[in-house]
Amino acid sequence: MTAVTSDATGTPRWLTPSPRNWRLALLIAVVAIPGSIWLAPGNVAFWISFVAVSAVTLAVTINAWGRYPGPLLVAPAIALLFVMNIFPLMWSFGLSFFRFRVNRQAPPRFAGLDNYEKILTDPTVWDRLQTTALVVVFTVAIQMIVGFLLALLFEKEFPGRRVLLMLVLTPMMLSFVAVGAFFRFYYEPTFGLLSQAVRLFTGEPFILLKTPAGALAGIVFADAWMWSPFVMLLVLAGLVSVPKYLYEAAEIDRASWWRKFRTITFPYIRSLLLLALLFRTIEAFKLFDIVFLITDGGPGSSTETIAVYVFRVSFQFFRTSQSSALAYFILFIVIVLTNLYLYFARQRSQEA
Amino acid sequence: MSTIKLQNLTKRFGDLVAVNNVDLNIDAGEVLCLLGPSGCGKTTTLRMVAGLEMATEGDVFLADKRVNDLTPSQRNVAMAFQFYALYPSLNVAENLAYPLHADRLSQADIDGKVREVARVLDLTDVLNRLPGRLAEGEKQRVSVGRAIIRDPNCFLFDEPLSRLDVQLREQMRGQIKEVLSGLNKATVIVTHDQLEALTMADRIAVMRDGYIEQVGTPHEVFATPSNLFVAGFIGTPQMNLMAGTFAGQRSGSLRLKTGEQEIAIPSSVPHAGLTEGGRVTIGIRPRSTELASEAGDDTLTATVDLIEPMGAETLLHLSDGDRDLRVVVDQDVMVRVGEQLHVRPRASQTHLFDQNDARIA
C-alpha cells in the first residue's frame, strides 16, 4: 500500500490529477451526482451526472488500457448486465419494502413488510395463483405428452424427416407476439379458422373465448403448440443417445416393446424428461404474453395468470412497490419449485 | 436338433459385398469359429444368422427350418455381443433374467435359473450390482450368462473375449469351452484372435473379404492351410513365405530354387501340376525347423539379423540378403548376430503354394 503515496509533493497519489486517476474521478462523481440531484434542477443534474459517469468510465478505461486487456474486454458486457438486469433487480427488491407509486411525485416511504403482508392476504393473488396452476398443469402435461410422442416419431428415419422436423420446430422460434396474434385470429368468432370449421357442422359461429373453460383451453392449446417442440428436442436428444446394440440385444432376448421401453429407452431419457418438465413448468408459471394477447385475462378475470396480474398491479394500478413484492413472491415460488425438482432428480440419479 | 445351415449366404451394402456366397453347416454341439481380419465379413455373417441383418441372397436354416423372414426374437437365438450390451439400468440378476421373461416363467423359476447361471459363472457375489460397477471380466461373464440362461436354437458369440486382458482371456477361453461343451447346441464364435479360435473351436472357418477361405478343424487349418492367406494368417510367429521356382523332382524329393539357394524337400508324391521353372511359394513355419551343423542338400543358409528372446524359445530373424527367414529355436541355443546358420525345414512340414496361391503340398 506504500505505492499509494506519491513522491515529490507529498500529496497522496489518488489525489493527483491525471487522466488515468480513476479513484479521483470516482470520488468527484460520488460527491457530484447526489449533490447535483439535491441542489440543481432536474435537467442540469442529469447532465452533470452524465458527465461524471462518463469521466469515471473514461478514467477507468485509460487506466486499464494495455494493462488489463481481459477485464477491459468483458467490462462492457458486465456494465450492461448490471445496468439492465442486476441494478433494476436490486432496486425493485428495495422498492418492495417501501410505499411508492411511480405515477406520483411523492418520495418512497419505508413500509417494512407491509407490501408482503398485503399480497399474502390478498384473495385475488391466491385466485390468480390457482388460475396459473391450472394453466401450468394442463399446458405442461400436454407439452410433455405431445413432445414425447413427436420425439418417438422423429427418432425413426423416414423420407422428408429433416424438412418435417424443421417445420415442427418452427413454433418454438416464433416470437410470443406472433403466436399470440396468430391464435387470436385463429379463435376469432366471425372469420377465425376454428369458428368457421365449427360452423360447417353447427351453422353457428363458435366463440371459444366466451366461456372460462374455453378461454383456458385456447391459452393452453396455444402455449402447448408453441412449446411441445422444445420437449421433443430434448427427448429426441435422449432417444438418439441410446446405443443401438441395446435394442439389438433386447430383440435377441425377445423382449416386448413395453419392456424395451421401460428398461432401455426410459432410463436414457429420464433425466432429460425431468429437465424438460422443469424448464416448461418455470416458463409456464411466468406465462404472460400469450394470455395477454389472446384473452387479456378474460372473460372476466377467469384466465388472468399471476404474471398478467403483476402487470396489471404495476402498470395499470401503478402500485409499484406492491407489484415488486408480488414479483419477488413469484420468484420465490419458482425457486422453490426448481429446487424441489432438482432434489428429486438428484435422488433418482443416486438410486440409479 | 440345434443346427445351423447357411446356403449361398450373401450380403451387399451398396456396391460392397460384405459376405459372398457363404455355405456352412454347423451340427448340434459343434463350436465353429469364424476367424478373419477385421472387415472380412465375419460379424455380418453372424448378424445374418441372428436376424439383425437381412441376407441379400441365400438362406439361413436354424434347426432345419428356413428363418430368413423371421425377426431375431422369433428365431430364438442367444447371442453375446462384442460390447456386452448389458442393460445399464438393470442389475446383474435382472440382466441375466431378461431373456427369460418371454418364456412366461414364474418368478421362482426365474430366480432359480439366475442363481444357477450365476453359480456356474461365478457371479453370485455381484448379482445386485449395476453393469457400470462391474469389472470387465464380470461384464463379459454376465453377457455369456445372459446367452446360456435360456434354451435357444443356437449360440452366437461376437468377439466375446476381445475386450479382456491377456490373463483373463486365457481363463475365460477355458470357461466358455467348458460351459458350451455341456449344452449340445450349434455355436458360432466370431473372433479375430487365432489363438481363441484354435483353442475353443471344433472347426474354424477362415474368412477374407467376404469369402470363406477354408473350413476345417484347428489342426487342419494349421497343418494343411488350403491357400497362402490361411497359411499366413494362422500361426504365430507368421509362416515364412518365400517366392521360388520348381527345379524338378529327384530321388524322392522336390527341388526348389529360391533366390540363389536350392533346397530339396523330401516328398514321395509326384506333383503333376508342377512344371520345371514354374513359380511357387514356399512356406516354412518358424517352429518347423531345426539348425543343421553344416550346409546340405536340404538346408537354407542365412545370417542372423536380430535375436528376440521369448522366454522358453528364442525367435531369430535371419536373412540371406534378399529373403527374410524367421526361425524359432530353444532358449538354450546360443547364437550371435552376424553368425551364419544352416536351417533345415522339418520333413513333411514344408508347404508349397502355386501361382494362384492354392496349396500344392
B17 SS3 class: strand
Chain A residues touching chain B at CB-CB below 8 Å: 243, 245-246, 248-256, 259, 263-264, 267, 352
Report the topology of domain A117-351. Answer: MetI-like fold (1.10.3720)
Query: Which pLDDT does position B199 carry in this prediction?
Result: 87
Three-state SS string across A269-292, please? HHHHHHHHHHHHHHHHHCCCHHHH
- Every domain of chain A and the residues it spans: 2-111, 117-351
Q: Which residue of B has its CA nearest to A263?
A: B89
Question: Which three cell numbers mark B340?
Answer: 551364419
Query: Which pLDDT does position A3 carry in this prediction?
Result: 47
| Half-sphere exposure (Cβ direction) of B122: Cα atoms closer than 13 Å | 9
Q: Do B50 and A267 touch (CB under 8 A)?
A: no
B184 and B67 in a single domain? The answer is: yes
User: Using 50, 70 and 90 to split pLDDT, how confident is the model at A349?
Assistant: low
Q: Do A249 and B79 touch (CB under 8 A)?
A: yes
- The alpha carbon of residue B76 is apart from the nearest alpha carbon of chain A, in Å, by 7
B246 and B228 in a single domain? The answer is: no
DSSP state string for B143-171: HHHHHHTS--SEEEEESTTTTS-HHHHHH
Whole-angstrom Cα distance, residue A298 to residue A326?
21
Q: Does some domain include residue B288?
A: yes
Domain boundary, last residue among B233, B254, B274: B233
Task: Name the nearest CA neighbour of A138 among A280, A299, A234.
Answer: A280
Whole-angstrom Cα distance, residue A249 to residue A245?
6
In B, which residues are within 8 Å of A263 by CB distance? 87, 89-90, 94, 98
Nearest CB among A248, A252, A255 relative to B101 is that of: A255
Instruction: Report yes or no: B4 and B45 within 8 Å, Cβ to Cβ.
Output: no
Whole-angstrom Cα distance, residue B39 to residue B338?
40
Q: Does some domain include residue B185?
A: yes
| Half-sphere exposure (Cβ direction) of B212: Cα atoms closer than 13 Å | 23
B188 and B65 in a single domain? The answer is: yes
Domain that holds residue B51: 4-233
- Work out the percent of chain B whose per-residue pLDDT is above 90: 25
Task: Name the nearest CA neighbour of A150 among A74, A224, A240, A228.
Answer: A228
Rg, Å, chain B Cα set: 25
Q: What is the mean pLDDT of residues A117-142?
A: 90
Nearest CB among A254, A256, A263 relative to B99 is that of: A254
In A, which residues are within 8 Å of B50 by CB distance? 252
Task: Name the nearest CA neighbour of A289 among A177, A155, A199, A185.
Answer: A177
Supply angle C-alpha B55, B60, B62, rounded to 5. Answer: 145
Q: How does the average pLDDT of chain A come out, rounded?
A: 86
B167 and B309 in a single domain? The answer is: no
Q: Does some domain include residue B359?
A: no
- The alpha carbon of residue A330 is apart from the nearest alpha carbon of chain B, in Å, by 38
Whole-angstrom Cα distance, residue B107 to residue A198?
55
Q: Do B52 and A252 touch (CB under 8 A)?
A: yes
Query: Which pLDDT does position A5 carry in this prediction?
Result: 47
Nearest CB among B78, B85, B102 relative to A245 is that of: B85
B229 and B250 in a single domain? The answer is: no
Output the furthest CA–CA distance in chain A (Å, rounded): 97
The pLDDT tens digits for B27-77 are: 988 999 999 998 888 999 999 999 998 889 899 999 888 998 999 988 889
B122 and B261 in a single domain? The answer is: no
Whole-angstrom Cα distance, residue A271 to residue A251?
25
The pLDDT tens digits for B108-153 are: 999 999 998 898 888 889 999 999 889 888 898 899 889 888 888 8
User: Using 50, 70 and 90 to split pLDDT, how confident is the model at A6?
Assistant: very low
B107 and B186 in a single domain? The answer is: yes
pLDDT at A111 over 90: no
Domain boundary, last residue among B233, B253, B277: B233
Nearest CB among A251, A253, A263 relative to B71 is that of: A251
Q: What is the mean pLDDT of residues B299-321?
A: 89
Phi, psi of A110 (to 5 degrees): -65, 135
| Half-sphere exposure (Cβ direction) of B138: Cα atoms closer than 13 Å | 20
Most confidently modeled range among A11-15, A138-142, A187-191, B132-136:
A138-142
Strand partners, B330: B313
Count of the separate structural domains present in chain B: 2
Task: Name the nearest CA neighbour of A217 among A153, A139, A284, A273.
Answer: A139
Q: What is the mean pLDDT of residues B101-106?
A: 86
Question: Which three cell numbers mark A189?
Answer: 368468432
pLDDT at A39 over 70: yes
Length of chain A (residues)? 352
Whole-angstrom Cα distance, residue B54 to residue A261?
24
Instruction: Report yes or no: A179 and A226 within 8 Å, Cβ to Cβ.
Output: yes
User: Using 50, 70 and 90 to split pLDDT, how confident is the model at A2?
Assistant: very low
Beta strands at B57-62 and B154-158: parallel, antiparallel or unpaired: unpaired
Whole-angstrom Cα distance, residue B283 to residue B240?
5
Question: Which three cell numbers mark A10?
Answer: 507529498
B47 and B140 in a single domain? The answer is: yes
Number of A/B CB contacts below 8 angstroms equals 59
Query: Which pLDDT does position B280 carry in this prediction?
Result: 85
In B, which residues are within 8 Å of A248 by CB distance? 52, 72, 81, 85
Q: Does some domain include residue B361?
A: no
pLDDT at A1 over 60: no
Whole-angstrom Cα distance, residue B202 to residue A74?
71
A254 SS3 class: coil
Q: Which residue of B has its CA nearest to A351?
A: B89
Neighbour tally for A52: CB within 10 Å: 20
CATH number at residue B33: 3.40.50.300
Domain boundary, last residue among B233, B262, B289: B233
B20 and B127 in a single domain? The answer is: yes
Supply angle C-alpha B183, B188, B189, rounded to 5. Answer: 105
pLDDT at A25 over 90: no
Whole-angstrom Cα distance, residue A68 to residue A79?
16
- The alpha carbon of residue A200 is apart from the nearest alpha carbon of chain B, in Å, by 48
B50 touches chain A (CB under 8 A): yes
Instruction: Report yes or no: B47 and B69 within 8 Å, Cβ to Cβ.
Output: no
Interface ipTM > 0.85: no
Residue B117 CA: distances (Å) to CA of A140, B113, B137: 46, 6, 16
Supply angle C-alpha A197, A200, A202, rounded to 5. Answer: 105
Nearest CB among B52, B76, B88 relative to A248 is that of: B52
Query: Which pLDDT does position A224 carry in this prediction?
Result: 93
B145 and B192 in a single domain? The answer is: yes
- The alpha carbon of residue B77 is apart from the nearest alpha carbon of chain A, in Å, by 7
- The alpha carbon of residue B199 is apart from the nearest alpha carbon of chain A, in Å, by 27
Query: Which pLDDT does position B335 carry in this prediction?
Result: 87
Q: Which residue of B has its CA nearest to A245?
A: B85
Query: Which pLDDT does position B103 carry in this prediction?
Result: 85
Residue B194 CA: distances (Å) to CA of A62, A132, B179, B188, B230: 73, 69, 20, 15, 11
Whole-angstrom Cα distance, residue B71 to residue B306?
55
Single-letter residue type at B262: E
Q: Does some domain include residue B360?
A: no
In B, which residues are within 8 Å of A253 by CB distance? 73, 98-99, 102, 146
Whole-angstrom Cα distance, residue A333 to residue A286?
11
Query: Which pLDDT does position B39 carry in this prediction?
Result: 85
Length of chain B (residues)? 361
The pLDDT tens digits for A143-159 are: 999 999 999 899 888 88
Nearest CB among A245, A251, A259 relative to B72 is that of: A251
Nearest CB among A243, A245, A253 relative to B99 is that of: A253
The pLDDT tens digits for B150-171 are: 888 889 999 888 878 888 888 8
B177 and B288 in a single domain? The answer is: no
Supply angle C-alpha B293, B299, B301, rounded to 5. Answer: 80
B183 and B291 in a single domain? The answer is: no
